[in-house]
Structure formats: structure tokens, C-alpha cells
């Protein structure tokens, strides 16, 4: 597995209260926030500042994340994907940061097992940093790639146990 720190299962990482979490695929470190805006700001090293009118799936959010990813943060990570609890980028979110943009070389570059409280919840996805999102269920069935914005992952809704990016 590429990305997540060996020997540190995502389910063992204790997160703070909140409904919008950010996890580093490099270190496994997870932090949670009260809003998507706060989570994305933290994930980008405070390079994303959204206006009140910004919404998931909207042009402003797309532009802000793309601009922030061009300026790799102090931690050396970029936003690779955000998965959402509900369709159309609603509900709780789980933002995944990665060490570098995806290379598109035919390999799965980043993978992580979702923590227990995120299993069987993913319904919509957004990807950045040249990545496509892949989802696996508990049995190991893989679905994807989900390219760009996907307001509903269809029959795979509420089945993901693992997320990958290529």
C-alpha cells in the first residue's frame, strides 16, 4: 500500500469532534473541523479562503483548491480528494491530502482504509491534483475511476471501506 504510514491503521487515529475531517495519506494524521471551509483551509495550509457563497461542486471551490494545490503547503501535501456522506457534496466530508499530485502512470499512488466511522458512508466524491478516485467495499470489490466531480457514485453509495487515488 502506498501512502498511509505502515502499522498505523486509520481506524486507530483518534479524531477531534467535528463532521469535516482531514487525513494525511502520508502520515495517517487526522483532524476534524466544524465546517467544510475550515477543513479545506487547514488541509491547504490556510491557502483556501472561501466566501460565504462558495459551495461544494461550485466553481469558486474548484478554483480555490486548484490554486492552493499549485502552491504545495509547508507540510508538502496537496488536496487529492474529498468524499462526502451525501449526494451532491452534502453532509459530512473526509478530505484526503497526499504528498504529490497523481502521475497518471497506471499505478494506484495513494490508498487508505477509511476509519470505522466513515465505512459505508461515501456517496459523492471530488478529486484534485490530477487524481482519479477509486473505492473498494468490504469484500474488496473496486469501483472507479471517479474523475473530477461525482455528485453521486450510484450503486456504490454507502459501500466504501477504502479509498485510492491514481
pLDDT digits (tens, 9 = 90+) for 9-56: 443 344 444 599 999 999 999 999 999 888 988 988 877 666 555 566
C-alpha grid cell, residue 71: 502552491
| Cβ partners under 8 Å of residue 126, min gap 6 | 56, 57, 81, 82, 84, 89, 148, 149, 150
Check: pTM over 0.85? Answer yes or no: no
Q: Are 153 and 127 in contact (CB under 8 A)?
A: no
Q: pLDDT for 81-105, tens place per residue?
A: 999 999 999 999 999 999 999 999 9
- Domain residue limits, the chain: 10-165
Q: Which CATH architecture has domain 10-165?
A: Sandwich (2.60)
Beta pairing class for 132-137 and 110-113: unpaired
125-163 burial: b if 16+ Cβ within 10 Å, else e: bbbbbbbbbbbbbeeeeebbbbeebbbebeebbebbbbb
Amino acid at each position: 500500500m502506498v501512502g498511509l504510514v505502515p502499522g498505523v491503521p486509520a481506524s486507530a487515529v483518534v479524531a477531534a469532534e467535528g463532521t469535516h475531517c482531514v487525513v494525511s495519506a502520508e502520515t495517517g494524521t487526522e483532524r476534524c473541523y466544524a465546517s467544510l471551509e475550515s477543513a479545506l483551509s487547514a488541509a491547504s495550509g490556510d491557502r483556501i479562503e472561501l466566501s460565504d457563497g462558495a459551495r461544494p461542486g461550485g466553481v469558486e471551490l474548484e478554483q480555490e483548491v486548484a490554486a492552493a494545490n499549485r502552491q504545495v503547503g509547508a507540510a508538502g501535501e496537496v488536496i487529492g480528494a474529498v468524499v462526502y456522506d451525501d449526494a451532491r457534496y452534502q453532509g459530512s466530508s473526509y478530505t484526503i491530502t497526499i504528498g504529490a499530485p497523481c502521475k497518471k502512470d497506471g499505478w494506484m499512488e495513494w490508498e487508505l482504509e477509511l476509519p470505522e466511522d466513515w465505512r459505508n458512508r461515501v456517496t459523492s466524491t471530488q478529486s484534485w491534483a490530477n487524481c482519479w478516485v477509486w473505492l473498494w467495499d468490504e469484500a474488496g470489490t473496486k469501483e472507479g475511476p471517479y474523475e473530477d466531480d461525482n455528485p453521486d457514485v450510484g450503486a456504490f453509495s454507502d459501500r466504501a471501506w477504502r479509498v485510492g487515488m491514481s
